[in-house]
Chain A
Amino acid sequence: MSELLKVPTMAEFMAEGKQPEVLFWVGCAGSFDDRAKKITKAFVKLLNKAKVEFAVLGTEESCTGDPAKRAGNEFLFQMQAVTNIEVLNAYEVKKIVTACPHCFNTIKNEYPELGGNYEVMHHTQFLKTLLDDGRLTVEGGEFKGKRITFHDPCYLGRANNVYEAPRDLIKKLEAELVEMKNCKRTGLCCGAGGAQMFKEPEKGNKDVNVERTEQALEVQPEIIAAGCPFCNTMMTDGVKAKDKEAEVPVMDIAELIANAQDL
């Protein structure tokens, strides 16, 4: 399959004197984390299917600086930001799509003041426009009638008020969308944000991801849908901690749509 993936880089577009429709910002998780790489590939398959002229930065991409900033290291964040902005502006990038809500939030909200002004979309928003414009069609396929619950990523939901795009996509799968008791603006964090992903949690009586997974399992879903590579890891670990990994997979929205199309 993978040899069929078309993943052009900005440098290649530049060499041909062309501009892509959109830059796909893969992000560190999407580039290096084994689980997240599957999400990246699923999204690329959809982009290929919809014949979207996209490009990636490839080896010219670097961490947005989000975890550094949230850990308190403003210097490192701004160094990363300014470097990335230089690359993006050199390629005259106008529009960016990313499958990581942390990259999404940082580039969309924190880069403009530092000289980086782009239209930034989360991949669920982008996929929704592809469907709305008829460039991509989706039928329920294997997910028709399945109970799916969606875990809101904090940096997509509360941080940027995007609640509907991922839900609209689940509905397009003709699946049964079930909401957890904490959802949308009261959605409970998976426990990874604010650089927590990279450290051990403080002493407490439970891990946040286990608490959130319990909320998800309460509504007896067949699938837990996520829209963030970090949430995905946390929820997958939570489901494992509950010995449910065989029954309840944690899947990104892009994977659901790609799988529904047998991509």
Chain B
Amino acid sequence: MAYLPNIIFVILLGIGVGFFVKNVKKLTRNIKLGHDVDVSDNKSQRWKNMAMIALGQSKMVRRPIAGFLHIVVYLGFIIINIEVLEIIIDGIFGTHRIGLSVLPEPVYGFLIGAFEVLAILVLISVIIFWIRRNIIKLARFWKSEMTSWPKNDGNFILYFEMVLMTLFLVMNATDTHFQSINTCNIISQHIAPWFNGLSENALHAVERTAWWLHIMGILVFLNYLYFSKHLHILLAFPNTYFGKLKPKGQLDNLEAVTKEVKMMMDPNVDPFAAPAEGAENAMPAKFGASDVKDLNWVQLLNAYTCTECGRCTSECPANQTGKKLSPRKIMMDTRDRLEEVGKNIDANKGEFKEDGKQLLDNYITREELWACTSCNACVEACPVSIDPLSIIMDMRRYLVMEQSAAPVELNNMMSNIENNGAPWPYNQMDRLNWKNE
């Protein structure tokens, strides 16, 4: 029976990690539903972007208050998790603070002391985050897409972190042996007196409870990620690596269109020739995107990476002037629809069964798509290199090239370009008239 806690620990750890691995597999499967896109170029620049933007948080600090607080939480989270290593070893082998027996006392004390300082800083930052969301009510957290789950999700994450940090500090404060060493228990020594009235046994029970809840909390949090905007703590890294390297103004040229246009322009092409072997398969099923599977996998990775901070939406000129478009909603809708498609596949033995729904109209309306000015403010604002504009453009392409469903004024503009080489009805032969006016 002496090994019962160890066995329980190993089983729970196994379950926690097992579920997480399962979720990661589902996540990769869903992302791969997008069509392929070549992002193998320029590796050194990509690593650099990842180091600067994800690891170095360079775009977070463009908003200094949120950026600074975020760095505290981010550093705290990474560094305090070193402590998890000790907890796991202790849990498996039934040791207590293994670090104390392998590290010199001052080194161990310094480490835990640093964790304690970070823990209290994280706690304070998270409380400020909560106040910004719920008391100050920053506009970007209260837009129309931030109701129900997205709103609760944001707060749940903050509660999680508050509880985890508190448990960590309580665990240290009620550890009589650790307190008796009295090196660098900078924060917990001030918490210890709160438990003064307790017997040694009761104190031990509190310490054990905090220890168990702390590690279980971490395992639960790990598995919460897949369902949450908090997935960004993992995906920000690949997402910044695969982010757009070309100038923001450069939209991709659809390759399938290039082939057709070149054929049309080539006088030697026989229009009645039978298509070459395999050529029909090479043609895309449709131009542009009406559902998630028409997007590429980087765009789908973008959707899972979005942490719904709303910096994009707060910079969007259409949103600022009361239009329905919100770049954040474009990303959230893409993720929601992708999840729906993923669940459909799971429920139908690995095959997608037509559900009569799609990203266009069922999630993203045409009104939103046509309100975009393609100004790239959302792309510039995103702290993790998400490109909402590319999804908007792909969906416009579907509307125009597959459905001929552009607003009527745009159809006029386009027929002007087609007929006389300008968006207005002027004759191309008059193009140089300004010279003599």
A residues neighboring B (CB under 8 Å): 2-3, 5, 7, 9, 26, 28, 30-33, 37, 40-41, 56, 58-59, 61-63, 65, 67-76, 78-83, 86, 105, 108-110, 113-114, 154-155, 158-161, 185-186, 188-189, 191-208, 211-212
Residues of A within 8 A of B376 (CB): 154, 158-159
Interchain CB contact under 8 A, A58 and B320: no
With A62-B421, A195-B410, A207-B321 as given contacts, are A109 and B247 in contact (CB-CB < 8 Å)? Answer: yes
**How far, in whole Å, are A124 and B435 apart by their CA atoms in the complex?**
21
Closest-CB distance, B22 to chain A (whole angstroms): 39
Closest-CB distance, A122 to chain B (whole angstroms): 12
B317 within 8 A of A: yes
Closest-CB distance, B422 to chain A (whole angstroms): 4
With A75-B260, A198-B410, A208-B321 as given contacts, are A67 and B373 in contact (CB-CB < 8 Å)? Answer: no
Mark each residue of chain B from 233 to 277: 1 if its CB lies under 8 Å from any CB of chain A, else 0.
Answer: 000000000000011111101100110111011000000000000
B399 within 8 A of A: yes
Closest-CB distance, A262 to chain B (whole angstroms): 21
Interchain CB contact under 8 A, A26 and B431: yes
Closest-CB distance, A30 to chain B (whole angstroms): 8
With A58-B431, A71-B396 as given contacts, are A204 and B377 in contact (CB-CB < 8 Å)? Answer: no
Interchain CB contact under 8 A, A196 and B373: yes
Interchain CB contact under 8 A, A72 and B431: no
Interchain CB contact under 8 A, A189 and B421: no
Contact partner of B246 among A79, A86, A109, CB < 8 A?
Answer: A109
Interchain CB contact under 8 A, B380 and A198: no
Interchain CB contact under 8 A, B317 and A9: no
Closest-CB distance, A86 to chain B (whole angstroms): 8
Interchain CB contact under 8 A, B414 and A206: no
B5 within 8 A of A: no
**How far, in whole Å, are A73 and B414 apart by their CA atoms in the complex?**
8
Residues of A within 8 A of B428 (CB): 59, 62
Residues of B within 8 A of A208 (CB): 317-318, 320-321, 373
Chain B residue with the shortest CB-CB distance to A31: B431
Closest-CB distance, B247 to chain A (whole angstroms): 5
Interchain CB contact under 8 A, B401 and A73: yes
Chain A residue with the shortest CB-CB distance to B376: A158
Interchain CB contact under 8 A, B422 and A32: yes
Closest-CB distance, B315 to chain A (whole angstroms): 7
Interchain CB contact under 8 A, B413 and A113: no
Interchain CB contact under 8 A, A7 and B410: no
Closest-CB distance, B380 to chain A (whole angstroms): 5
B374 within 8 A of A: yes
Chain B residue with the shortest CB-CB distance to A113: B253
Residues of A within 8 A of B409 (CB): 198-200
Residues of B within 8 A of A75 (CB): 257, 260-261, 401
Interchain CB contact under 8 A, A65 and B249: no
Chain A residue with the shortest CB-CB distance to B427: A59
Residues of B within 8 A of A67 (CB): 413-414, 417, 423
Contact partner of B321 among A63, A76, A186, A205, CB < 8 A?
Answer: A205
Question: Chain A interface: which of B44-52, B135-143, B210-218, B322-330?
Answer: B322-330
Interchain CB contact under 8 A, B432 and A211: no
Residues of B within 8 A of A33 (CB): 424
Pick the most buried of B257, B396, B421, B424: most chain A CB atoms within 10 A of its CB. Answer: B421
With A59-B432, A208-B321 as given contacts, are A189 and B373 in contact (CB-CB < 8 Å)? Answer: yes
Interchain CB contact under 8 A, A71 and B247: no
Mark each residue of chain B from 401 to 429: 1 if its CB lies under 8 Å from any CB of chain A, else 0.
Answer: 10000110110111001100111101011
Chain A residue with the shortest CB-CB distance to B426: A32
Interchain CB contact under 8 A, B375 and A63: no
Chain A residue with the shortest CB-CB distance to B258: A78
Interchain CB contact under 8 A, B249 and A155: yes
**How far, in whole Å, are A161 and B304 apart by their CA atoms in the complex?**
28
Contact partner of A69 among B251, B370, B421, B436, CB < 8 A?
Answer: B251
With A32-B426, A37-B434 as given contacts, are A74 and B249 in contact (CB-CB < 8 Å)? Answer: no
**How far, in whole Å, are A118 and B434 apart by their CA atoms in the complex?**
26
B383 within 8 A of A: no
B367 within 8 A of A: yes
**How far, in whole Å, are A80 and B421 apart by their CA atoms in the complex?**
8
Residues of B within 8 A of A68 (CB): 413-414, 417
Closest-CB distance, A169 to chain B (whole angstroms): 21
Residues of B within 8 A of A105 (CB): 247, 249-250
What 9 pairs between A and B have smallest CB-CB spacing? Answer: A159-B249, A194-B374, A72-B396, A205-B322, A62-B421, A204-B322, A72-B400, A109-B250, A189-B375
**How far, in whole Å, are A83 and B251 apart by their CA atoms in the complex?**
19
**How far, in whole Å, are A79 and B264 apart by their CA atoms in the complex?**
9
Q: A70-B396, A189-B373, A202-B367 are in contact. List 8 more A-B contacts (CB 8 A).
A: A2-B435, A59-B431, A68-B414, A68-B417, A80-B417, A186-B377, A202-B371, A206-B322
